[in-house]
Structure 1
Amino acid sequence: MANTHFFFALTLPDELKKELYGRIEQLKTAFPFKKWLHPADYHITMAFLGHASESMRNEAAARVKQTLEKEAAFPLILDEIGTFGRNDYPRILWAGVEFEQRLFDVQKKVYQACLEAGFSLDPKPFKPHITLARKYNGEEAFSLQQASSLTGLESKRFLASAITLYQTHIGASPSYEPICSVQLQ
């Protein structure tokens, strides 16, 4: 269990996961990454907890549920792909969403609830994204412009309606197991 970690994330609708996965299929042959995520693992991380005891997880889950009990679901728009790390050999390939203040407000509530439960969280600013692949290892330099044109990712609207606590299973595919979810109104 020491290698297991936990995180809260915005749950993506299954239809969106399927559509996103279908759009990136062409990228797999054109851009070799060491690991392409299973579509069931697509999510937007709200708070990374790391290793956590059951009592701390339960406390965080109860606080997140309480803080979001009157929170309404809201629309988001998938709109771009991007990378983290070097432009020519990126560490992460991701899909992003258009700016929506409600997403940032909900993330702050989840983050604060986890702090109140006793977690030490990463203080980096929230950058909402859906990780698609990790560790580019192609012989040719990566081209974000070419990758963007291959995905044909145009504005895709979806409803943000649940926050889920996930547990990782390193080496498994899919890697993330939902533990509990909070449905937004």
Structure 2
Amino acid sequence: MRLFVGFSPPRDARDELARALEPHRAAWPELRWPHSANWHVTLSFLGEVPPEVLPDLETRLARAASRYAPMTLSFIGAGAFPSPRRARVFWTGLDGPHPQLVRLARSLAAGAQRAGAVHTDRRQLRPHLTLARSRDEVDLSRLVEDFGPFAGTAWEAGAVHLVRSHLGAVVRYETIAAYPLKARAPGGQS
């Protein structure tokens, strides 16, 4: 099964982002815009994982997540991969405690590897949410500039989710499990 671990933004944050995007979508018909219900922030892409690995994987992911405190996050700005002029992916950034996000992503990936999951993406985390994709390179410089001022309302990420991707004509995501972030934040707050 094809798996990843990430945050599932709350509906309010997704709805706010969808409203902000609406005036831009019609001008970019060459982009594929996934439904907001499928939006997620990937922390660790695991790729194809054998089913027999799942019990140990779940234990290790739960343990890794439990070492981190809930995080206040918000969507902010815009960008494109690999670059605005030669884009295949249009995204909004994730504002929050960047060092903790990177450490959490590394911990999740390390736990997955110890469980026997093949972690295929070894790049350092660039926290973002993919808003649109293109099969061919597109110059999205104007879209990135126009959407760049976006700043969403803050929301709390209190858990990470293990998600299965069902590929096909319509991509579908299935949450397998949620693992609470439950360590105490600095200063004794949880």
TM-score range (shorter-chain normalised) is: 0.7 to 0.9
Say whether residues 1:37 and 2:34 are aligned partners: yes
Q: 1:98 offset after TM fit, Å?
A: 2.5
Local SS of the residue matching 2:76: strand
- Please give the per-residue CA displacement for 1:3-43, whole angstroms capped at 9, x wherever unaligned: x5111112211111111112111221012244211111111
Is this contact kept in 2: 1:92–1:136, CA < 8 A?
Answer: no
Q: Which moved more, 1:40-49 or 1:150-159?
A: 150-159
Letter in 2 for 1:114: A
Is this contact kept in 1: 2:165–2:173, CA < 8 A?
Answer: yes
Structure 1 pair 25–174 and aligned structure 2 pair: CA distance change class (3 A): farther
- What is the TM-score with the length of structure 1 in the denominator? 0.85
Q: Which moved more, 1:17-26 or 1:146-155?
A: 146-155
* d(CA) in 1 for partners of 2:54, 2:177: 10
What residue in structure 2 maps to residue 127 of structure 1? Answer: 126
Q: 1:145 offset after TM fit, Å?
A: 4.2
What residue in structure 2 maps to residue 153 of structure 1? Answer: 150
Q: Which moved more, 1:32-41 or 1:12-21?
A: 32-41
Map residues 105-184 of structure 1 onto 2, 5 A cutoff: 105-121=103-119, 122-135=121-134, 142-150=139-147, 153-171=150-168, 173=170, 175-184=172-181
What residue in structure 2 maps to residue 20 of structure 1? Answer: 17
* d(CA) in 1 for partners of 2:157, 2:145: 24
* d(CA) in 2 for partners of 1:142, 1:43: 24
Matched length: 180
Letter in 2 for 1:67: A
- What is the TM-score with the length of structure 2 in the denominator? 0.83
Identity %: 24
Letter in 1 for 2:3: F
Structure 1 pair 154–34 and aligned structure 2 pair: CA distance change class (3 A): closer
Structure 1 pair 159–23 and aligned structure 2 pair: CA distance change class (3 A): same
- Please give the per-residue CA displacement for 1:50-93, whole angstroms capped at 9, x wherever unaligned: 11122212321210102222432111132111000343341100
- Structure 2 residue aligned with 1:88, among 73, 85, 102? 85
* d(CA) in 1 for partners of 2:145, 2:37: 22
Q: 1:151 offset after TM fit, Å?
A: 7.2
What residue in structure 2 maps to residue 72 of structure 1? Answer: 69
Structure 1 pair 182–110 and aligned structure 2 pair: CA distance change class (3 A): same
Give the CA RMSD over aligned residues.
2.3
Local SS of the residue matching 1:88: helix
Local SS of the residue matching 2:32: strand
Q: Which moved more, 1:69-78 or 1:104-113?
A: 69-78
Structure 1 pair 150–127 and aligned structure 2 pair: CA distance change class (3 A): closer
